[in-house]
Amino acid sequence: KNQVEQSPQSLIILEGKNCTLQCNYTVSPFSNLRWYKQDTGRGPVSLTIMTFSENTKSNGRYTATLDADTKQSSLHITASQLSDSASYICVVSADSGAGSYQLTFGKGTKLSVIP
Amino acid sequence: GAVVSQHPSRVICKSGTSVKIECRSLDFQATTMFWYRQFPKQSLMLMATSNEGSKATYEQGVEKDKFLINHASLTLSTLTVTSAHPEDSSFYICSARVRGTGLFGSNQPQHFGDGTRLSIL
């Protein structure tokens, strides 16, 4: 069964500090891994996408890493801002063949950035 | 960028009422749209895949007669929760994938709407 586990479940940090969110997955056959940011009461917005051959990808203050061997990914946020407060969801895509694929969602990490 | 509009954003109604939620892709065509349900502190759960011009594909455990899906055009899919009950209260989110993504379709993101908060009294 495909699964995506995220940790921690929730995190509180001071504004300006860095933090790292973790994602472990057991999804096969792996196609890609995407991190989404979901503000309260809003739909998820894609931050980064990682394919099998990529180890690191940055999007502004967000840096995602992928270790396909250990099936782990992380999302590092530098110099956090109050607007970073949101849930961060790890989503792994499995190739179902014939041009279709299945997404498995993690439960998310709820990040709270406080002044 | 690709925008998905979902309407209404919030619905409060009495038990037994049927509620229709619309999902529109504003600046792109979406052959396939997806409907999710999200309970508090839980991950998004795929309910069904909506295919333009054909019947929706429902996930196991989702009642197709209760959650009616219509995908009449390349830019609009609707989800109707029929005879809603308090246990149907949840956050419903739709998403759409850009049409014609070919072999690299899995690398194209799903663009999500902002969700509909459904509360059944």
Task: Write out chain A's pLDDT in tens, 115 residues.
Answer: 889 999 999 999 999 999 999 999 998 888 899 999 999 888 999 999 898 888 999 999 999 999 999 999 999 999 999 999 999 999 999 877 666 678 899 999 999 999 9
Q: What is the mean pLDDT of chain B?
A: 88
C-alpha B26/C-alpha B4 separation (Å) is: 6
Locate the DSSP E strands across A27-71: 30-38, 45-51, 56-59, 62-67
For a pLDDT cut of 90, what percent of chain B falls above it?
64
pLDDT tens digit string along B84-96? 999 999 999 999 9
Task: Determine whether the interchain pair A43/B4 forms a contact, defined as Cβ–Cβ distance below 8 Å.
Answer: yes
State the nearest Cα–Cα gap between B79 and chain A, in angstroms.
16
In this prediction, residue B103 carries a pLDDT of: 45
CB B112 within 8 A of CB A43: yes
Residues of A in contact with B109 (CB under 8 A): 34, 46, 49
**Span B61-68, mean pLDDT?**
94
- In eight-state DSSP terms, residue A70 is T
pLDDT at residue B116 above 80? yes
> Pairing state of beta strands B19-25 and B4-7?
antiparallel
Mean pLDDT confidence for B37-41: 89
Does the pLDDT value for residue B111 go beyond 60? Answer: yes
Distance from CA of B42 to the nearest CA of A (A): 5
Contact B118, B49 (CB under 8 A): no
Which residues of B fall within a CB distance of 8 Å from A57?
A: none
- The pLDDT score that the predictor gives to residue B107 is 61
DSSP B86: G
Per the model's pLDDT, the better-predicted residue between B107 and B33 turns out to be B33
- pLDDT given at position A99: 62
pLDDT in the model for residue A114: 97
Sort strands B45-51 and B57-58 into parallel, antiparallel or unpaired.
antiparallel
pLDDT for B2 beyond 80 = no
Q: Which residue has the tokens 């694929």?
A: A101
Report the sign of the C-alpha dihedral through residues B36, A72, A40, B105, in that order: negative
Confidence (pLDDT) at B1 = 64
